[in-house]
Amino acid sequence: MKYIDLRSDTVTAPTDKMREVMFKAVVGDDVYDDDPTMKELEAFAAKLVNKEAAIFVPSGTFGNQLSLFTHCNRGDEVILGEDCHIVMHEVGASSVIAGVQLRTLRSNKGELNPENIKSKIRSGEDDIHFPSTGLICLENAHSNGRVIPLSNMREIYTIAKENNIPVHLDGARLFNAASYLNIDVKELTRNCDSVMFCLSKGLCAPVGSILAGTNDFIKKAKKKRKLMGGGLRQAGFLAAAGLVALKDMRENLTNDHENALFLGTELSKIPGIKVRQDDIHINMVFFSIKDTPLKSDVIVSALLEKGIKINGEEDGEMRFVTNYWVKKEDVMYVVKCLKDLL
Ligand SMILES: *Cc1c(COP(=O)(O)O)cnc(C)c1O
């Protein structure tokens, strides 16, 4: 049975073209630096985001944590938003792997206040009690579905550079953000020293993310990736799909965004459903069902019987995510099923 899967864009299976190139990929042992397809992907990815070098990692979480581990010393403080993925959804890894302290700041729908960041920067040399700020992390697109304005990133990056502190961008959905802002992705990545982006979300690659930065940073990261168990052997099979993701699949993201807007508009017509319509910047629709007669687990199982996979509520909200394999007709079918049910 074919399901319509709105749980996430991570559920995207690879395209036929990806399966073909994976089958035919020329591979080698990437730990011996012997995999030509991986080298091609890493060079292509670095160029795309205008960084000197890039490295393939098994997941977005791996890439973020590798970045913290590479930028920081143990005991350093990392300044970031209270609601960002690194804080909320990475299993507390920052304390286990990099051994850093997270200094979380209040965020305004994902946006951090530059002056607030400035006031939190400190140096261990100023006072025997202080840790040193080792890194500032930004997230764009944000996992709350919104895209952070370029001007905000720029202001924060300027402050970071004045204080000689590196900035890492969690760009799991970097290309969604660029597509929403209708700018080249380089405009976003010029405001950070390192960036992570996922191949495995809306871009449909089966596995993998990229971490990009300076040559020196990536060289250090490569050793730490090995320590973390991320030295992969014939990884060119994955790189082959990753190249298709970066070359062919970025353009489709605007379709995902249009489908999400349409889904949001139609859902908001169902009595009791409250959609955060203004927050639909990319492929995610957040809404509340608390004024409907049904609980989320009932909706989840009823829709599953109709061939639709969704997640239950998190923090009192439902989230539907559109992706390459969800077409406009599928969106209409989902809305119809939900309408009938309620
Ligand atoms: C998905 C996501 C990640 C982590 O990616 P995984 O591949 O699931 O580990 C990191 N940051 C953000 C903002 C994400 O949405």
Sheet holding 274-275, edge to edge: 274-275, 284-288, 318-321
Does residue 69 belong to any structural domain of this protein? Answer: yes
Pocket mutation for ligand 1, best pick of 66, 89, 90 (most atoms within 8 Å of C-beta): 89
Handedness of CA 18, 19, 24, 28 (dihedral sign): positive
Domain count, the chain: 2
Contact 151, 228 (CB under 8 A): no
pLDDT of residue 1: 73
CA-proximal residue: ligand 1, atom 5 (nearest): 60
pLDDT digits (tens, 9 = 90+) for 189-219: 999 999 999 999 999 999 999 999 999 999 9
111 with 181, same domain?
yes
| 44 within a domain of the structure (yes/no) | yes
Ligand 1 atom closest to the Cα of residue 201 is 1
- Whether residue 24 is found in the same domain as residue 123: yes
Residues 39 and 100 in one domain: yes
Shared-domain flag, residues 189 and 258 = no
Please identify, among 209, 228, 248, the residue that sits at the C-terminal boundary of a domain.
248
Query: For position 324, what pLDDT does the model report?
Result: 98
Confidence (pTM): 0.97
In sequence order, what are the beta bridge partners of 5? 309
Q: Which of 218, 248, 278 is the last residue of a domain?
A: 248
Atom of ligand 1 nearest to the CA of 139: 13
Position 243 scores a pLDDT of 98
Query: What local confidence, expressed as pLDDT, does residue 191 receive?
Result: 98
Helices 236-248 and 36-48 cross at an angle (nearest 10°) of 30
All residues at 6 or more sequence positions from 259 whose CB lies less than 8 Å from its CB, including other chains: 283, 322, 326, 327, 328, 331
Which domain range does residue 263 map to?
A: 252-341
Residues 222 and 287 grouped into a single domain = no
Give the Å distance between the CA of 320 and the centre of ligand 1.
Answer: 16
Residue nearest to ligand 1 atom 8, measured at CA: 60
Mutate to test the pocket of ligand 1, among 67, 198, 314 (most ligand atoms within 8 A of CB): 198
What is the chain's Cα-based Rg?
Answer: 21
262 and 237 share one domain? no
Query: Which of 61, 86, 174, 203 best tests ligand 1's pocket when mutated (most atoms within 8 Å of CB)?
Result: 61
pLDDT at 97: 98
What are the structure tokens assigned to 133, written together?
A: 């700020």
* Terminal-residue alpha carbon distance, the chain: 25
pLDDT of the residue at 45? 98
Cα of 196 to ligand 1 centre, how many Å?
9
Q: What is the DSSP string of 261-296?
A: HHHHHHHTTSTT-EE-GGG-SSSEEEEE-TTSSS-H
Residues of the chain below pLDDT 50: none
Asked if residue 292 belongs to a domain, the reply is yes
Tokens standing for 260?
């999400």
Query: Do 143 and 24 belong together in one domain?
Result: yes
Question: Same domain, yes or no, for 191 and 329?
Answer: no
260 preceded by a cis bond (ω within 30 of 0):
no
What's the mean per-residue pLDDT of the chain?
A: 97
Output the CA 270–ligand 1 centroid distance in Å: 31
Residues 68 and 108 in one domain: yes
CATH number for 326: 3.90.1150.10
The answer as to whether 3 is a domain residue is no
Give me the pLDDT at residue 124, please. Answer: 82
Residues 6+ apart with CB under 8 A from 166: 71, 134, 135, 136, 160, 193, 194
CA 259 to chain centre: 19
Residues 177 and 278 occupy one common structural domain = no
Burial class (CB in 10 A: 0-12, 13-18, 19+), 19: middle
Q: Residue 326: its pLDDT value, please?
A: 97
Of the residues 197, 220, 248, the one at which a domain ends:
248
